[in-house]
């Protein structure tokens, strides 16, 4: 019986570990209200200028999030000062309105591709910034603050 329990624990640990993950951090959103002025920043030191990587934006939301998608501005500043800025749209629900994220409670986690198969060819600090710019139809100013976002994260995995 002890051997079976040890094997189960070992298998769970093996399955839960992602050996390709090289970075994974979250920042909580105060009161679950993400202001468009609140740019979420992640500073990452890169020493690997050869390996391909996938970069993900991770969004945790609760049931107070009232949109079927989310609009973001992603900004990467390279060590040399070069900036790459992207306007991004991600679906948060399917056509029936069911959350696409994972999770058993009211908090859903969405792992969203930001950059695929990218090589960071400069050594040094990369500054990633994520800003929400979600708005309703005919809403010029945007939804501010955006309710129901609990955490914003960034993860990087080797290919």
The neighbouring-strand residues paired with 154 are: 25, 57
CB 119 within 8 A of CB 50: yes
Interval 106-125 mean pLDDT: 96
Q: What is the mean pLDDT of the chain?
A: 89
Q: At which residue do the structure tokens 């030191």 appear?
A: 45
Predicted TM-score (pTM) of the model is 0.84
Sign (positive or negative) of CA dihedral 55, 73, 102, 147: positive
Q: What percent of the chain has pLDDT over 90?
A: 77
Residue 138 is predicted with a pLDDT of 64
pLDDT at residue 116 tops 70: yes
* Region at 14 (left for phi over 0; alpha for psi -120 to 50; beta for the rest): alpha
As a whole number of angstroms, the distance between CA 156 and CA 114 comes to 10
Residue 140 is predicted with a pLDDT of 63
């Amino acid at each position: 019986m002890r051997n079976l329990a040890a094997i189960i624990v070992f298998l769970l640990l093996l399955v839960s570990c992602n050996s390709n993950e090289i970075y994974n951090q979250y920042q909580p959103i105060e009161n679950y209200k993400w202001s468009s002025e609140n740019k979420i920043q992640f500073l990452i030191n890169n020493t690997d200028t050869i390996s391909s990587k996938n970069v993900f934006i991770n969004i945790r939301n609760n049931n107070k999030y009232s949109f079927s998608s989310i609009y973001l501005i992603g900004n990467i500043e390279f060590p040399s000062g070069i900036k790459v800025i992207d306007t991004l749209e991600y679906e948060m629900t399917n056509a029936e309105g069911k959350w696409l994220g994972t999770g058993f409670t009211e908090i859903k986690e969405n792992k969203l591709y930001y950059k695929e198969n990218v090589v960071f060819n400069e050594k040094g600090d990369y500054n990633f910034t994520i800003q929400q710019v979600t708005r309703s139809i005919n809403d010029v100013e945007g939804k501010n603050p955006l309710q129901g976002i609990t955490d914003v994260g960034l993860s990087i995995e080797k290919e």
